[in-house]
């Protein structure tokens, strides 16, 4: 079954991106009006995050979210067919707005920790080496760029996701930077003397196996958050930045690097994460539909009385 799905996705990937966008309008309609994909969770998340909005406004945001979600799916399928990196570059689907900032941090620090969220289209990060159109040299390459992912419970989806995320790489078979979250600490310690750029997708609800977390308020709601990436950066004295990925229009995202600290050893992990969430909230305020609202992000199953982390 997995091979069949994989084959179908590969065939679809050969279609031009504009064709995928035409199809995704129908996919968005089906998700919203026929399958009601996580409609209850999306509505509750939006309503609690924006308590001042009227129900019609919440419905409109929900509609925009479904539309964006379908676009992400279309882009991800198309991206998975980019075996030639030049095809990806010509499409100009993502552009790094300020490559000089990530270059500056790379030169300044032992390594760089990039904290990002489920906003924009995070599945396109594997092509980041192709997204600098300034013509200036960049320090990001397949040799030093690492993407941290969470292992899926179904092997088929692990294979499909990896195939898509690494598709545009020049040497995808020998790429060492695709790191499973449970093994990333060992890798980072083994390569602590090598300059790397590590990209962590940081959700506020930690995995069940996460050993450490913090409590804070996000979008008017109490929640708990992973802080492992910030703790690693603190221990290794890495530079830390937030990666914003606003959508300029359909078919174009702009990556913006915003420095949190140049030396994480001078900041507590909780303070790094608080700054991260402050920047994330600012992005959500500007483009509220450009975030993954379909997941339950404010649950707290720790059984511990809630107090905000100092």
DSSP, res 130: G
C-alpha distances out from residue 64 to 46, 59, 60, 253, 285, Å: 12, 9, 6, 16, 14
pLDDT digits (tens, 9 = 90+) for 24-75: 999 999 999 999 999 999 999 999 999 999 999 999 999 999 999 999 999 9
User: CB-hemisphere CA count at 13 Å for 55?
Assistant: 0
pLDDT digits (tens, 9 = 90+) for 145-173: 999 988 887 888 888 888 889 988 988 88
C-alpha distances out from residue 263 to 61, 81, 259, 273, 278, Å: 38, 38, 10, 14, 19
Which residues have a Cβ under 8 Å from the Cβ of 193 and sit 6 or more positions away?
110
pLDDT digits (tens, 9 = 90+) for 281-291: 999 999 999 99
Q: Taking a C-beta distance cutoff of 8 angstroms, is the pair 155, 180 a contact?
A: no
Q: Taking a C-beta distance cutoff of 8 angstroms, is the pair 186, 195 a contact?
A: no
pTM to 2 decimal places: 0.92
């Amino acid at each position: 079954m997995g091979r069949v799905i994989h084959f179908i996705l590969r065939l679809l990937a050969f279609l031009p991106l504009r064709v995928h966008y035409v199809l995704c309008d129908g996919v968005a309609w089906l998700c919203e009006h026929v399958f009601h994909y996580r409609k209850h969770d999306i509505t509750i998340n939006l309503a609690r995050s924006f308590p001042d909005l009227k129900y019609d406004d919440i419905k409109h945001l929900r509609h925009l979210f479904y539309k964006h979600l379908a676009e992400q799916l279309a882009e991800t399928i198309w991206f998975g067919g980019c075996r030639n990196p030049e095809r990806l570059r010509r499409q100009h689907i993502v552009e790094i707005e300020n490559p000089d900032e990530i270059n500056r941090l790379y030169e300044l620090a032992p390594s760089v920790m990039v904290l990002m969220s489920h906003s924009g289209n995070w599945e396109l990060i594997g092509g980041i080496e192709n997204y600098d159109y300034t013509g200036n040299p960049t320090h990001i390459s397949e040799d030093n760029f690492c993407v941290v992912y969470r292992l899926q419970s179904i092997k088929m989806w692990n294979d499909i996701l990896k195939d898509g995320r690494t598709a545009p790489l020049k040497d995808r078979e020998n790429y060492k930077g695709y790191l499973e979250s449970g093994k990333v600490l060992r890798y980072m310690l083994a390569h602590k003397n090598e300059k790397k750029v590590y990209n962590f997708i940081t959700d506020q609800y930690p995995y069940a196996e996460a050993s450490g977390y913090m409590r804070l308020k996000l979008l008017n709601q109490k929640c708990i958050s992973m802080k492992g990436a910030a703790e690693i950066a603190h221990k290794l004295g890495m530079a830390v930045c937030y990666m914003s990925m606003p959508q300029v229009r359909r078919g174009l995202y702009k990556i913006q690097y915003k420095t949190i600290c140049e030396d994480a050893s001078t900041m507590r992990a909780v303070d790094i994460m608080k700054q991260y969430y402050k920047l994330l909230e600012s992005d959500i305020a500007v483009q509220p539909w450009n975030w993954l609202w379909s997941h339950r992000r404010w649950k707290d199953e720790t059984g511990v009385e809630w107090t905000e982390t100092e």
